[in-house]
Amino acid sequence: MIGTNLVAANNDTMPLMSSAWGDNYERTGLYGGAATWLTVHAKYDGKSSWGNYVSFGQLSKEVQYTNTPAGLKAAAQMAGGMALTRLYDATAKPYAVTHRPIQVDGHPGHEITARIAVKKPKLKETYSVILIAVIDRGDGTAAVSIGDIAGSTPQWLPVWRTKVSQIKIGS
């Protein structure tokens, strides 16, 4: 994070969600990424906290990528699968999945949203929403933003979309 932006190692930038969000580490499998966090339920079980998470970086080199509508969709699905495994576990099953093409900074992209069931003792959340945006960088690579938003805080979903629309592809 630098100032008011998440900055990827390749100098792509994404504006921060808001000043209420704090610095965090990238844990969704993005290459050269940065992340931010907002606590929603502090120490809900006496020790663990639950919150909203947004990461931004480049598509992992493990993910095959082609700049076509199908390639963007497949990359978003693979990035989302990696994020689910890392943020939840390998058994996390998305539901209410939506797909849509997007344009960001003049570059084609693909967005996926889905719900993830949450079952943690003492936590007053029944689901979270995972958000994945993959944007072609024009050089054979792709920028990615992953959001994980608690179901009780839907006001952050349009904020994430706005911030994704403001991503700037570095040169």
Q: Judge whether 15 and 9 are in contact, CB under 8 Å.
A: no
**Residue 170, domain member (yes or no):** no
Q: Judge whether 31 and 58 are in contact, CB under 8 Å.
A: yes
**Residue 20, domain member (yes or no):** yes
**Residue 38, domain member (yes or no):** yes
- Which residue shows structure tokens 């000043």? 19
Cα Rg of the chain (Å, integer): 15
DSSP state of 30: -
CATH number reported for the structural domain that contains residue 39 in this entry: 3.40.1000
- What pTM, to 2 d.p., does this model score? 0.94
Edge-to-edge order in the sheet of strand 107-117: 22-24, 31-41, 50-58, 142-150, 127-136, 107-117, 94-104
**Residue 21, domain member (yes or no):** yes
**Selection from 148, 144, 151, 147 nearest residue 169 by Cα:** 144
Q: What is the pLDDT of residue 2?
A: 54
What type of residue sits at position 82?
M
How many angstroms separate the CA atoms of 32 and 26, rounded?
9
**Residue 144, domain member (yes or no):** yes
Partners of residue 135 on adjacent β-strands: 109, 143
Distances (CA, A) of 127 to 51, 89, 106, 151: 12, 14, 33, 5
Per-residue tens of pLDDT for the chain, all 171 residues: 456 889 999 999 999 999 889 988 898 999 999 999 999 999 999 999 999 999 999 999 888 899 999 999 999 999 999 999 999 988 999 999 999 999 999 999 999 999 999 999 999 999 999 999 999 999 999 999 999 999 999 999 999 999 999 999 986
| Angular region, 163: left φ>0, alpha ψ -120 to 50, beta rest | alpha
Neighbours of 6 (CB within 10 A): 27
**Residue 153, domain member (yes or no):** yes
Domain around 130: 5-165
User: Structural domain tally of the chain?
Assistant: 1
